[in-house]
Chain A
Amino acid sequence: MLGFLKGRPEHPRLSQIRQLHLFATLGPRELRVVDGLLHERRYLEDEVIFDEGEEGQALYVVLSGRVLICRPGAPDGGRIAEIPAGALFGELALLEGTPRTAQARAAEDCAVAALTRADFSGLVETHGAIASKIALQLARDLGRKLVARHLTLEMRPQ
């Protein structure tokens, strides 16, 4: 009768998110907390995940498959980047509620885990250490993207 007082069994996704760069510095207990906040979504190839101009509510981590970041209508199909499994996209939504700068679309059938801005804000309040570790990984990821972008621009013929 008092079975509801027992803890819940470990989610099978836990071993998967352990491998993700964003959560690489989290301990097992911390991972369990984060896992409880993630929303798993599945998209078919060509399905739109979010549109340019929409106000973002969540950051996405690709669990499987690939995601295309593009600007429809721009030259060359507007292709900006392709996000492989394990990488993240839409991270600016976590930091502020600015409009999305591009469209995200499933390049192939994919599964993504979404961490919403509200849940991340809650994490900052309740689990400051976890939020700091995620924020640090996020900053590293943004830094890497910035350097890569800078190098691409430098190598472009004048």
Chain B
Amino acid sequence: MKDSAFASGPLVGLVTIVVTSLLLVASAKALWLVVPLLFGIILYYMLYPIVHRLVLSGVSRDAAAAIVAGSVTILAVAVMVPLLPWLAAQSVGSEETFYRYLEGGRVLIDRTLAGLEKQFAFLAKMDFHAEMSKRAAEFGDTALQKKIAETLLAAAVSLPTMLLAPFFAFFFLRDGQVFKQLVTRGVPNAFFERTIYMFDRVDATTRAYFQGQLKLTAIDTLFLGVGLWLIGLPGAFGIGLVAALFEWIPVVGTIAGAGLAVLIAATAFPNDPWVVYATVGLFALVRTLDNFFFIPLTVGRSIQMHPLPTVLMVFIGGAVAGIPGLILALPLMGVVSAIVGTVSGIVLDPRLRARNRWAKELLQRRVTADFR
């Protein structure tokens, strides 16, 4: 069914934005649930091909879902048991590493500002170097340190709720079809085929988005890892993976990932600014490759929305629900857009509404036949 068969236009776009924003606000109130749910969805799309393979080899869907989700739960527990105390200890005792990288970043900024002051006399008159250095030192000593410690502690506290993620994934894998049938059972006959179409669109959108993002993460990790390794950064593939994971956060993710790599480069090679420039260049190159080749090949145009509401939605997501809001904003908007588009298509189709009225009338006649 072509999209042109459905209502679209500014009103549908506006309703999509409003509904997505409301859902993001609601999700901000229950982040403890939304975050494992988000991971559950990501896990579902990661595990789906494995379940698919098991089903193909003759295992029933129920058993395949139980085997795969059960294995992931055991693995998650095995990883989490030593990780939890380690993370808690890191949040308190990682000051030395934190200060080392912060100092590396501070020295880089310091040298860059000094260089700028030499080039531009008006900056020297403003005492730009001293003022900015003072502000950067204040930010690093207080706000940033507090924020990072808080984030690490919050991550340690919320880790146990992450065990819900494989639980959610198991039910998505096992009961996805049953859920679809349960929902469509409540839909009037006249709207049945349109509802089926809506489910397919929602599934196709989320599948394309999340599976595409997973592939993009793998590609970015490989390219950034190889690039950073050639530059000579320690732990190149680890940094590449973390930076690629940052890419899940639209707009600001690239900057955050690149910033992290630059901090490490500046700390590891304090007297070689070319390493920092090469790192920045590498991130710019990979981002360009992403935009022109990798994103069209992986995520594609899974979220078919105008760039303006897309960027707007990302910022609304970040403002109301923090990092989970930033990650959730786009797939949520894609799903809401598919639902709003289809529902408005049904509501605005006079023939479908007439068929539904006719079905109701037939039922009314049937149940009141003995009144006549």
Contact = CB atoms under 8 A, between A and B. Distances in A.
Please indicate whether A and B come from the same complex rather than being unrelated chains.
yes
Interface of A: 5, 7-8, 33, 36-37, 39, 41, 43-51, 54-58, 97, 114, 116, 118-119, 125-127
Contacts of A49: 189
Given A39-B181, A48-B355, A57 B362 contact: no
Interface string B332-364: 000000000000000000010001001100110
Interface of B: 1-2, 5, 52, 55-56, 60-63, 66, 177-178, 181, 184-185, 189-190, 192-193, 196-197, 199-200, 203, 351, 355, 358-359, 362-363, 366
Contacts of B1: 55, 57, 97
A58 B196 contact: yes
A44 B362 contact: yes
A105 B185 CA distance: 19
A7 B351 contact: no
9 contacts: A36-B178, A39-B181, A41-B189, A47-B362, A48-B358, A50-B193, A57-B193, A58-B193, A125-B52
A7 B55 contact: no
B60 to A, nearest CB: 7
B362 A46 contact: yes
A53 B180 CA distance: 26
Contacts of A58: 193, 196
A118 B2 CA distance: 15
Contacts of A54: 193
A90 B183 CA distance: 23
B189 A36 contact: no
A45 B339 CA distance: 31
Given A39-B184, A57-B197, A116-B196, A126 B5 contact: no
A39 B366 CA distance: 24
A48 B362 CA distance: 11
A37 B177 contact: yes
Contacts of A127: 55-56
B56 A47 contact: no
Contacts of B193: 50, 54, 56-58
Nearest to A6: B62
Contacts of A46: 358, 362
A47 B184 contact: no
Contacts of A55: 1-2, 5
Contacts of B63: 7
A44 B196 contact: no
B363 A7 contact: no
B60 A7 contact: yes
A133 to B, nearest CB: 16
A78 B366 CA distance: 26
Nearest to A8: B62
Contact of A57 (B61, B66, B196): B196
B359 A47 contact: yes
B64 to A, nearest CB: 10
Contact of A126 (B55, B203, B363): B55
Contacts of B366: 44
A97 B362 CA distance: 30
Residue in B2, B62, B189, B199 with the greatest tally of chain A CB atoms within 10 Å: B189
A45 B331 CA distance: 42
A67 to B, nearest CB: 13
A36 B196 contact: no
A74 to B, nearest CB: 18
Contacts of A51: 351, 355
A35 to B, nearest CB: 11
A113 B200 CA distance: 18
Contacts of A7: 60, 62-63
Contacts of B2: 55
Contacts of B351: 51
A125 B52 CA distance: 9
A51 B359 CA distance: 14
Given A37-B177, A57-B1, A57-B197, A47 B62 contact: no
B52 A118 contact: no
Contacts of A33: 61
A17 B197 CA distance: 24
Give me the 7 closest cross-chain CB pairs, A-B, nearest first.
A57-B193, A55-B1, A118-B200, A44-B362, A57-B196, A116-B196, A48-B355
A114 B192 CA distance: 10
Contacts of A43: 189, 359
Contact of B192 (A5, A39, A118, A119): A39
Nearest to A128: B56
B197 A47 contact: no
Contacts of B60: 7
A37 B178 CA distance: 8
A41 B192 contact: yes
B181 to A, nearest CB: 6
